Structure 1
């Protein structure tokens, strides 16, 4: 019984074997707590200052372009410099921006324009930082432990996504914006101190300087690899057709269940968390392309069911199943990227992933909102879910290499595994050599 339970529970090997992974895991949780405090306080402060839904919605508009532009540049930067330095400097910059929010909130009459400037600046720094973070995993975790590390990172995110907003909501509601922003500043200060303890992660030898040519090289590499192209395309299709978060308030109205709105937003994270808590089997999986396709199709099918049913409790169950499907697809994508992309291009490919990560949900919310205005919330959700399933099926048929991907036989994955084994051997030789010399003396 214990053996069966161990096989299902998350594999903790990366946590035990890598000091840097432990640091990043804890640092990420602390950063998320601080970020979510500001994420909830900032739009509420704009609402308090303006009383305008349009003014609150404009925050998303000022964030999108900096996130995309600096995400692409951040990918090239991550391949050209020490990724640890990028993480430390951007984390410090985010802490300074939190301090600006705090100082503005302490004014007798807080100003509106700094809130938009900070929102755009945060998006820019997040775009610079994310490729460095995403491309760091394969440098600090052994190749064979990458699926387990992806599952543990997902578990960290889900724990924060469930508990963080609830805690932040209480702080903002009962203590106000100032304590929320102060907590954000403290969290980023602690995060910077942890990031400084990470081992240096220098670029590969003869790394190219950040440039448009370098970004184009990363795009050409992704285009030349049907497996990678499939992961991006499937994610974009799933988010475009079946990301209805923006119309959840209208769905709650149609179901006469305003009390369930918060549960709708958190149900997906709960489903993702349950999958992560039973992710021990992921370490033994080699067909990660199937995870990408089946997970995305499951996300769409569950969303279709959530839009079709009129029972609010079933809606919440299906939203939870959708979250589990999205997490399954995400684990497959993350593992394929880390198993196949060469280190010299890993930052640039992570920058392209930022593009798909940001554009897909944004366009999906536009699609869902426009459709809901025409047909109502429920039809907008279930038709989008079915369209997602159809799109994923067409992409799987058009990109058979994604379905057939196997970490044991894929040329890129085997090449990365050999390189990882060689790097580990070199590190062991370096560690043993001084001891041998001392013994000989």
Structure 2
């Protein structure tokens, strides 16, 4: 491999439909992050209560779970282009509703929470449909590279968006952040409208509870797909110590005031690692033994989290070498997680039959959303008896153990290879 081969594989951007979606999403991802910051900040400004802010988790998670599953059924039952048009328009209207409420001086937190819940419902339909579309518009050998580019963009937005929001709130207020979110969704709507028709493949399904059950029944008979999702749960549930960051920053790094540079670095470290990993993801498209590669990447993720836990244990209550070691290990961990997630996404897109792509991606959205929230509960609970250092270290060790157990009990996943390139889509023009 030449040096160029180690950098991000940009061949998916040569497919016009993918390129339009990806370029438009640059603005959309930043706009979405403006709302991610604005909603909890505005709720706190109205209530002065972190408990009300915490309700955003509940009001966001419930529609994501329900409509993530049902949205996958919709994606498999209707023209995916039409589903994307409607759900994208719904997200624009939700952002406009936030803007209208704020512009009118609304101080009722429940209106904000209900609007947030509505927005997340549209997002839950949009996201699995969007991911399923990649199977239709990209050649199968470019699916890993397409997933990597998409994840790199999402993680970059997770860094840039909150910085912009934090800088703009004192100057333009919440209402104009919501207005910007609505405007920045328009390029994605245009890219979606430019897609070709993407009708359902195979026997036409009827959206509904029965369709969801059929998708789950299909998934139950696919051990490779099940393990791909289980590995995501293992990696995120045990290896995501973000609930411990405030205590680590205060007690181990000496930042006793609210906020601080080290706290900001802790929260942004994994996203920064994911962006770095995306820039160096050229090798992913060339991986043939994708199952084994996923296992190795997740074990590395667990090892980096273990090393971060050691750094926390060794930190003397001030910013020293050990504090910087924690940040560096989390950056490396973010890169390893990005590699494994890109490969897992490609495996799901390659291995699931096209007529169930939407439902499989819907289930995966629930897994992706649920894992970090379970991690918050488990790490928060473990911190009291174990301390934040041992809770972090133990979580990383459990990631490694869980991954090795999957390798032992489901060897078919470890043996999984990228399918031969026997089809090239012509729908991406």
Q: TM bucket by the smaller chain?
A: over 0.9
- Between 1:154-163 and 1:314-323, the stretch displaced more is 154-163
Residues 121-148 of structure 1, C-alpha deviation per residue, up to 9 Å, x if partnerless? 1221111111101101010011122122
1:215-262 per-residue CA deviation (whole Å, 9 max, x = no partner) reads 222222222122111101111111111112122111111221442111
1:339 alignment partner, one of 350, 360, 372: 350
Alignment-derived partner of residue 3 in structure 2? 5
Matching residue of 1:320? 331
C-alpha distance in structure 2 between counterparts of 1:9 and 1:313, whole Å: 26
Which runs of 5 or more residues in structure 1 are unaligned? Answer: 408-412, 432-441
2:70 corresponds in structure 1 to 73
TM-score, structure 2 normalization: 0.92
In 2, Cα distance between equivalents of 1:108 and 1:331: 43
Greater Rg over alpha carbons, structure: 1
SS in 2 for 1:135: helix
SS at match of 1:136: helix
2: CA distance between counterparts of 1:9 and 1:173?
A: 38
**In the alignment, is the contact (CA less than 8 A) between 1:171 and 1:179 conserved in 2?**
no
Q: Following superposition of structure 1 onto structure 2, how do residues 232-251 of structure 1 map, counting pairs within 5 Å? A: 232-251=229-248
Q: How do residues 6-405 of structure 1 correspond to structure 2 at under 5 angstroms?
A: 6-16=4-14, 18-255=15-252, 256-257=254-255, 258-309=260-311, 310=315, 311-405=322-416
- Give the Cα–Cα distance (whole angstroms) in 2 for the partners of residues 79 and 108 of structure 1: 41
Q: Secondary structure at the match of 1:11?
A: coil
CA distance in 2, matches of 1:377, 1:273: 26
CA-to-partner distance for each residue in 1:57-91, whole Å, 9 max, x for gaps? 11101211111111101111111101111111111
Q: CA deviation at 1:213?
A: 2.4
List per-residue Cα deviations over 1:183-224 (Å, max 9, x = no partner): 112112332223211222111143111132222222222221
1:438 paired residue number: none
CA contact (8 A) 1:291 1:331 kept: no
Q: CA RMSD in A?
A: 1.8
TM-score under structure 1 length normalisation: 0.90
Distance 1:282 1:185 in 2: 34
Question: Do 2:87 and 2:126's aligned partners in 1 also have CA atoms closer than 8 Å?
Answer: yes
Q: In the aligned structure 2, how far is the partner of 1:48 from the partner of 1:162?
A: 23
Q: Partners in 1 of 2:221 and 2:242 — Cα distance?
A: 34
Identify the structure with bigger relative contact order (alpha carbons < 8 Å, sequence gap 6+). Answer: 2
C-alpha contact 1:11 1:280 (8 A) present in aligned 2: yes
The whole-number CA distance in structure 1 between the counterparts of 2:151 and 2:394 is: 29
> How far is 1:380 from its partner?
1.7
- Matched position secondary structure for 2:205: coil
Matched residues in 2 for 1:195 and 1:8: separation? 31
The answer to whether the Cα contact below 8 Å between 2:382 and 2:391 also exists between their aligned partners in 1 is yes
For 2:296 and 2:195, the matched residues in 1 are separated by 36
Is contact 1:27-1:195 (8 Å) kept? no
Cα distance in 2 for residues equivalent to 1:372 and 1:118: 34
The answer to whether the 8 Å contact 1:306/1:319 transfers is yes
In the alignment of these two chains, the number of paired residues is: 415
What displacement does 1:109 show? 4.8
Q: Which stretch of structure 1 is more off in the superposition, 370-379 or 310-319?
A: 370-379
Identify unmatched segments of 5+ residues in structure 2: 316-321
Q: 3-state SS of the aligned residue for 2:23?
A: helix
